[in-house]
Amino acid sequence: MKKQRPVTFNHNPLLEKGLPAWRPRLVLLALLTGSLALVGRAAYLQGFNTEFLQAKGESRYERVISIPATRGRVTDRHGDVLAVSTPVRSIWALPSDARLSPADARKLANLLDMDVNELNSRLASERDFVYLKRQVAPPVAEQVKALKLPGIHQQQEYRRYYPGGEVMAHVLGFTGVDDKGQEGVELAFDAVLTGQAGSRRVIRDRRGQIVEDVESIRPPRDGADVALAVDAKVQYLAYSALRQAMTTHKAKAGAVVVLDARTGEVLALVNAPTYNPNNRANLSGAQLRNRVLTDVFEPGSTMKPFIAALALERGKVQPGTVIDTAPGRLTIGRATISDTHRHGLLTVAEVIQKSSNVGTVKMAMGFQPDEMWQLFKDLGFGAPLNLGFPGEAGGRLRPARSWRPIEQATMSYGHGISVSLIQMAHAYLAFARDGELLPVSLTRLDGPPSGGQRIFSAETARAMRGMLELAAGPGGTAPRAQIAGYRVAGKTGTAHKLENGRYTNKYVSSFVGLAPASDPRLIVAVMIDEPSAGQHYGGAVAAPVFAQITEGALRALGVAPDAPLAPLQVARQPDAPDPARERM
């Protein structure tokens, strides 16, 4: 066998075959082109278009955080603080970083007043960010911070505090956990009270800790303060008197509103039942209802003075004009209207004093329905007063073309029409201001009121004040509304409640009064819903509440007396007729 010669590397046949001359040139050109492209791209990114790379880098460590603004304060007319925001902390976590031992979890849950299972459930969330507890008091937040737990962080927030508690609850309302208004003035003036949050740019590490404050982007703008027309002293007087009446008469609910007769400002607004806005656990709908504005009821005899005023204004009667109310009944169609007592001949002034249904209806039936409807509309019935309060009711006032004669008759003494308590107080401004009706204001007015509307002549309004003074005096339906040292004018109302389209044996008792009658400064309207302790007439239930509030308020405001300081004689003999019995 012939022996083969060994082949060495430098004599490899594959190497002996020469490469094409163009191939190395092509590879060299490709490498040069790639290099030039990389150089060009690097120059473009670093020299001409740096924003993209900077944005990508900054997104990994730079954050823009919000700086909360302080919500504006709410004060009463004298500057006393009624609502203020106090700094608190919110505890939040990054679940991916919050790896707590069982002992640490128990400590944290105990400080936050949480169930440890709930805490662990939140920390096990797949979300990037979770709140553990909102609005934590600063001392508690400091104890949490001292634990130095990984992934557990804090941020500053604000919590609303209401020094007046349940006394001011329905005026102020409250805010939610995000410091946004949810009820009352807090909601009505939320746009004014809410400030504008600021922002700043910071650098954070992967655990969310701020390691550098880069710059302030926009400083926070605090909300503006709101000065209410409410007088805190008058508000407390109204609250105390209403609470006492609720207990005495075992009532379901009640409401009081006090207006300044000179300006139309709301000096007090109280409802019962109430609540503490600082602790809203276990609240019910009944507690939250602002009955002064949201609840409507048939006003009963408090409507009668408007019919008498219309008759005076049109020249149909004079205060001394005699009306025959005998035999105490009046039939219209198939319905019969009755007085509680037979009075016979009564003057117009005595019709109001004795609260005669028959006398009022005889005056009312001398008008066309359109005339009465226009008066009610001008007085503000049938539409909200547009105070800005949430849920403000407009009441029920049907178009005049749909009135039947019996409906026109019953509306003259407050049945078949529904109003809110603030609407009724507002309408009585026309009597207090010599016939001029002003808009109601929740905020303090720093100048003379504007927007008044002439409803009655001054002569008519003054004549009506005289009649209302008789109604609130001896021989009228509300002698218990009298105040030592002041002349009082007002009218009671007692109406059956309408449920499911039928009248029941439940009542709404009310009283609307002015004082001092010679130059009215206050209008006080009282409504007691379903008194159940044996009395239900407005003169016995609501009028004493008016007296208690008005006496204290007039003295607190420094209003000079306009009557001799003589002892009041409101007692009666056991066998004498009850002067406080209200005529339906």
Residue 407, helix vs strand vs coil: helix
3-state helix, strand, coil in the chain (%, to 5): 35, 25, 40
The whole-angstrom separation of Cα 404 and Cα 398 is: 11
Residue 32, helix vs strand vs coil: helix
pLDDT in tens, 320-342: 999 999 999 999 989 999 998 88
The predicted structure's pLDDT at residue 148:
85
pLDDT in tens, 304-314: 999 999 999 99
Beta bridge partners of 492: 511
- Residues with catalytic roles: 301
- pLDDT exceeding 90 applies to what percent of the chain? 58
The predicted structure's pLDDT at residue 211:
58
Q: Which two tokens stand for residue 53?
A: 């790379």
> Are domains 64-144+152-227 and 232-276+287-556 of this chain identical in fold?
no
The predicted structure's pLDDT at residue 135:
83
Contact 355, 302 (CB under 8 A): no
The radius of gyration of the chain from alpha carbons, rounded to an integer in Å, stands at: 38
Candidates 252, 263, 275; CA nearest to 531 is: 252
Contact 553, 232 (CB under 8 A): no
CATH superfamily, region 232-276+287-556: DD-peptidase/beta-lactamase superfamily (3.40.710.10)
- Chain-centroid distance, C-alpha 158: 20
Is pLDDT above 50 for 584? Answer: no
pLDDT in tens, 465-485: 999 999 999 999 999 999 999
The whole-angstrom separation of Cα 281 and Cα 285 is: 12
Rounded alpha-carbon distances, angstroms, from residue 323 to 306, 415, 473, 523, 583: 17, 22, 21, 29, 17
pLDDT in tens, 132-142: 888 888 888 88
The domain limits of the chain are 64-144+152-227, 232-276+287-556
The whole-angstrom separation of Cα 476 and Cα 384 is: 32
More confident residue, 93 or 569: 93
The predicted structure's pLDDT at residue 370:
96
Q: Which two tokens stand for residue 396?
A: 């029920």
Please determine, looking at this structure, whether the domain spanning 64-144+152-227 carries the CATH number 2.70.150.10. no
Confidence of residue 23 (pLDDT cuts 50, 70, 90): confident
DSSP result, 538-550? HHHHTHHHHHHHH
